[in-house]
């Protein structure tokens, strides 16, 4: 029998009642030129959401391809807020871009279909 470590409702309650801070999330859409192939990012409408943010020291991880830059902060977001790669997050007038985004499951067992509890994002300071 597999039990969930934490449920979506539990995580949302933690953010809403205890650990969450209100930030501005700006969804970003990516378009690609048919002629040049150049990608452009367009900001959507900002909305206030709750998340948990931890600032990190800037450092690098070694992977097969070489040194990979880590972000300036890590954010834990509600699944329902759909924070994805390239979105912008504003925290205390500092603007971060989402470099990587991963949905984290509540059950770590390959025999069951995962239920995702929250989204973990690597954030890079851009201004």
β-sheet bridge partners, residue 107: none
What distance, in Å, lies between the first and last C-alpha atoms of the chain?
48
Taking every pair of Cα atoms in the chain, the longest distance, rounded to a whole number of angstroms, is 54
Q: Give 116's pLDDT tier (boundaries 50, 70, 90).
A: confident
Higher pLDDT, 42 or 65: 42
The structure tokens listed for 92 are 């205390």
Decide: 72 and 58 in contact? Cβ < 8 Å. Answer: yes
Q: Measured between alpha carbons, how far is 116 from 100 in angstroms, rounded to an integer? A: 16
Stretch 117-121: mean pLDDT: 90
Q: Measured between alpha carbons, how far is 57 from 24 in angstroms, rounded to an integer? A: 22
DSSP character at residue 73: E
Which pLDDT score, from 0 to 100, does residue 18 have? 81
Which pLDDT score, from 0 to 100, does residue 60 have? 53
Kindly state the percentage of the chain with pLDDT values over 90. 34
Which pLDDT score, from 0 to 100, does residue 50 have? 92
Which pLDDT score, from 0 to 100, does residue 1 have? 46
Model confidence at 17: pLDDT above 90 = no
Give the other-Cβ count within 10 Å of 83's Cβ.
23
Kindly state the percentage of the chain with pLDDT values over 70. 80
pTM beyond cutoff 0.85: no
DSSP character at residue 61: E
The structure tokens listed for 43 are 């900001």
């Amino acid at each position: 029998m597999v039990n969930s470590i934490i449920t979506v409702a539990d995580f949302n309650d933690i953010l809403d009642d205890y650990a969450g801070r209100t930030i501005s999330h700006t969804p970003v859409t990516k378009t690609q030129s048919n002629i040049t192939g150049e990608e452009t990012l367009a900001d959507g409408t900002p909305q206030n959401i709750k998340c948990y943010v931890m600032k990190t020291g800037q450092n690098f991880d070694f992977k097969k391809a070489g040194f990979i830059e880590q972000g300036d902060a890590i954010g834990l977001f509600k699944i329902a807020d759909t924070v994805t790669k390239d979105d912008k997050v504003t925290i205390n007038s500092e603007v971060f871009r989402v470099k990587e985004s991963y949905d984290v499951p509540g059950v770590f067992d390959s025999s069951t279909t995962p239920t995702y509890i929250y989204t973990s994002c690597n954030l890079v300071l851009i201004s």
